[in-house]
């Protein structure tokens, strides 16, 4: 048996009505179902639209096979004052302490985040969809518009698969990341389109075994490791694979960003088979990141960046700089491999340059020269016509 929201309300035709209580009742029925003779599935049909306030769908549940299929539309109130309490989780649709959930369908989630962007500081805005302290998650097929903050958050989770998602917000919408991952492992993101105003995907501290494949990013700020180490934190990221992705009109492409004064590491990271269309900064490592601040100073410590590969990049760059490795003088970047790179300017006859400081770099077949000694200040390198096969 499959449940419907209509099973929990007597007024399923009035889209101006708040259906928060109906969704809470539906979740209670799903979570308490014993899987034998009680329904563990809920469907929102294609012709249905529901407005709901922030919801916390909390476990642990009796069932480990909950299925919610959204083919219709779920939206938040358009006015901020109608949202009610966003709670400590600061999330619109939040799943916490749930093991075994499938959330899929062809429907739309619209939290009307545009009301928040200019009137509420980003630290106080809610995320649209959040998975917290959960495992065995499948999230697939849905389209999300205009989150107040990041569209999807995966926090302290294990075994999460996110696929065939369409995350959409204007390119100038503030802090509207596509997918943020933190303190999580065994996370797969694939076959998705992310067009937002910040990182398409951000992989933050405490995360490992992350695979991102066939993601079309742009507009946005690229697919980023970090930022890590803010405020002196000890944060780690390892075993990340980003493959067969594209960056179209993005601020960055493949980026690793760590704060001066931080601790920890980012290692065993690969960006491979990447297509660039007018990406501003296609390859960047910044070990002294300060989120657009000025007079950023080096700290006594830094997050160590090592064992990073950029392989098979092709396409166009909209700035003058194809690659920028800005590593820390005391810690430096170790074992950075750059190979099979063919990046050209978006402007005809314009040559690109690259810059590098304090990095141990190996290059093979790179069409824009990058020279970097471990103890050197940055030296911009003009584009060469010949391919490189050198160790610097």
Interior angle at CA 267, CA 264 and CA 268, nearest 5: 160
Q: Return the SS3 of 8.
A: helix
Q: Is 364 a catalytic residue?
A: no
Beta bridge partners of 168: 145, 195
d(CA 200, CA 192): 10
Tokens coding 240: 């990340």
d(CA 337, CA 331): 18
- Asked if residues 63 and 31 have their Cβ atoms less than 8 Å apart, the reply is yes
Q: Which of 27, 140, 33, 148 is nearest to 80 (CA)?
A: 148
With DSSP H G I counted as helix, E B as strand and the rest as coil, what are the percentages for the chain, rounded to 5? 10, 50, 40
195 Cβ contact list (under 8 Å, min separation 6):
167, 168, 169, 171, 217, 218, 219, 220
Tokens coding 2: 């499959």
DSSP 291-326: TT-SS----S-B-EEEEEEEEEEEEEESSSEEEEEE
Catalytic annotation, pick one of 221, 294, 351, 364: 221
**What's the start-to-end Cα distance of the chain, in Å?**
65
Half-sphere exposure of residue 199: CA atoms within 13 angstroms, side-chain side: 20
Q: Return the SS3 of 128.
A: strand
d(CA 134, CA 185): 11
DSSP class of 387: P
Q: How far is CA 11 from the centre of its chain?
A: 37
Tokens coding 133: 């302290």
Q: Return the SS3 of 77.
A: coil
In our burial notation (b when 16+ CB lie closer than 10 A, e otherwise), range 93-112 reads bbbbebbbbbbbbebbbbbb
Active site residues: 221
């Amino acid at each position: 048996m499959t449940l419907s929201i209509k099973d929990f309300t007597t007024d399923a035709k009035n889209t101006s009505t708040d259906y928060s209580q109906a969704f809470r009742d539906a979740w209670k029925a799903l979570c308490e179902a014993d899987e034998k003779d009680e329904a563990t599935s809920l469907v929102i049909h294609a012709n249905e639209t529901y407005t709901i306030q922030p919801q916390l769908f909390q476990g642990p549940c009796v069932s480990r096979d909950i299925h919610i299929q959204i083919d219709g539309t779920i939206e938040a109130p358009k006015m901020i004052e109608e949202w009610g309490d966003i709670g400590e989780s600061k999330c619109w649709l939040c799943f916490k302490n749930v093991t075994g959930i499938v959330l899929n369908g062809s429907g739309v989630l619209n939290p009307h985040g545009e009301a928040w962007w200019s009137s509420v500081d980003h630290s106080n805005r809610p995320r649209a969809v959040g998975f917290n302290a959960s495992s065995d998650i499948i999230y697939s097929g849905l389209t999300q518009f205009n989150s107040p903050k990041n569209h999807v958050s995966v926090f302290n989770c294990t075994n999460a698969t996110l696929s065939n998602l369409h995350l959409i917000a204007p390119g100038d919408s503030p802090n509207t990341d596509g997918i943020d991952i933190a303190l999580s492992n065994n996370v797969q993101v694939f076959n998705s389109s992310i067009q937002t105003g910040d990182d398409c995907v951000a992989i933050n501290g405490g995360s490992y075994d992350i695979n991102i494949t066939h993601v079309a990013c742009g507009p946005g700020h690229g697919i980023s490791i970090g930022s890590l180490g803010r405020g002196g934190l000890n944060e780690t990221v390892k075993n990340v694979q980003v493959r067969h992705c594209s960056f179209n009109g993005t601020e960055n492409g493949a980026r690793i960003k760590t704060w001066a004064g931080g601790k920890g590491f980012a290692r065993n990271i690969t960006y491979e088979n990447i297509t660039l269309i007018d990406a501003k900064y296609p390859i960047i490592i910044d070990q002294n990141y300060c989120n657009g601040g000025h007079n950023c100073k080096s700290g006594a410590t830094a997050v160590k960046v090592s064992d990073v590969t950029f392989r098979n990049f092709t396409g166009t760059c909209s700035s003058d700089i194809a690659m920028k490795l800005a590593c820390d003088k005391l810690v430096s970047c170790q074992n950075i491999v750059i190979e099979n790179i063919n990046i050209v300017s978006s402007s005809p006859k314009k040559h690109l340059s690259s810059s590098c400081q304090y990095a141990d770099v190996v290059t093979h077949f790179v069409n824009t020269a990058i020279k970097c000694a471990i103890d050197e200040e940055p030296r911009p390198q003009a584009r060469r016509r010949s391919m490189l096969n050198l160790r610097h």
